């Protein structure tokens, strides 16, 4: 089936911008693989990652795990002058932005995202194959559950 990005989409993160890592309240949900990767990168165990850098997001009978924000709503791992301090091990939610199913629903949703991300429709052309590979990375991931890590 044809989609609006048959010929690919342009996107390049813009130097000096950190809008998707802070500024406004938001969630960066962690998968079990994200937690493992962060624990290895930070050289602490997964429970310590959760206790030090994360917060619970209540889903009713359980809570998912999101990265903490500091007072100005920046992600706890963002240093505005230097960027993401865990860049090589950043969560898949961050690594696949802006190639998320919700943003790729239609050409309109892609264009709407420009109000948040100045890198959309600029710079590198990403092929349809690349975009679909990014979409697969978040499909069916196991989000980490707070209660399984914090007693």
Contact residues for ligand SF4, defined by CB under 6 A: 13-14, 17-21, 28, 67, 75, 77-78, 84, 86, 90-91, 94, 97, 116-119
Nearest approach, Cβ of residue 13 and ligand SF4 (Å)? 3
Contact 83, 22 (CB under 8 A): no
CA-CA distance, 118 to 123, in Å (whole number)? 11
Pick 119 or 131: Cβ nearer ligand SF4: 119
Indicate the residue among 47 and 85 with the shorter CB distance to ligand SF4. 85
State the minimum distance, in angstroms, from the CB of residue 49 to ligand SF4: 12
The minimum distance between CB 141 and ligand SF4, in angstroms, equals 15
Cβ proximity to ligand SF4: between 9 and 86 the closer is 86
Residue 112: CB minimum distance to ligand SF4, A: 13
Pair 54, 66: CB distance under 8 Å: yes
Name beta bridge partners: 9.
Answer: 126
CA distance 151 to 149: 7
Q: How many CB atoms lie within 10 A of CB 132?
A: 13
* Of 61 and 111, CB closest to ligand SF4: 111
Least distance CB 85 / ligand SF4 (angstroms): 7
Q: Distance between CA atoms of 42 and 38, rounded to whole angstroms?
A: 6
- Smaller CB distance to ligand SF4: residue 29 or 61? 29
Rounded Cα distance between 66 and 83, Å, is: 19
């Amino acid at each position: 089936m044809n989609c609006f990005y048959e010929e690919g989409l342009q996107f390049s993160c813009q130097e000096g911008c950190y809008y998707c890592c802070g500024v406004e309240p938001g969630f960066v949900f962690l998968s079990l693989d994200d937690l493992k990767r962060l624990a290895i990168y930070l050289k602490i165990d997964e429970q310590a990652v959760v206790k030090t850098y994360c917060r619970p997001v209540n889903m009713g009978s359980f809570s998912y795990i999101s990265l903490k924000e500091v007072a100005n709503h920046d992600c706890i791992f963002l240093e505005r002058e230097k960027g993401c301090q865990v860049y090589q091990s950043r969560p898949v939610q961050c690594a696949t932005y802006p190639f998320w199913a919700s943003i790729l629903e239609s050409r309109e949703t892609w264009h709407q995202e420009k109000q948040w991300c100045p890198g959309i429709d600029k710079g590198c052309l990403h092929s349809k194959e690349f975009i679909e590979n990014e979409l697969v990375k978040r499909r069916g991931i196991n989000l980490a559950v707070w209660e399984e890590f914090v007693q």
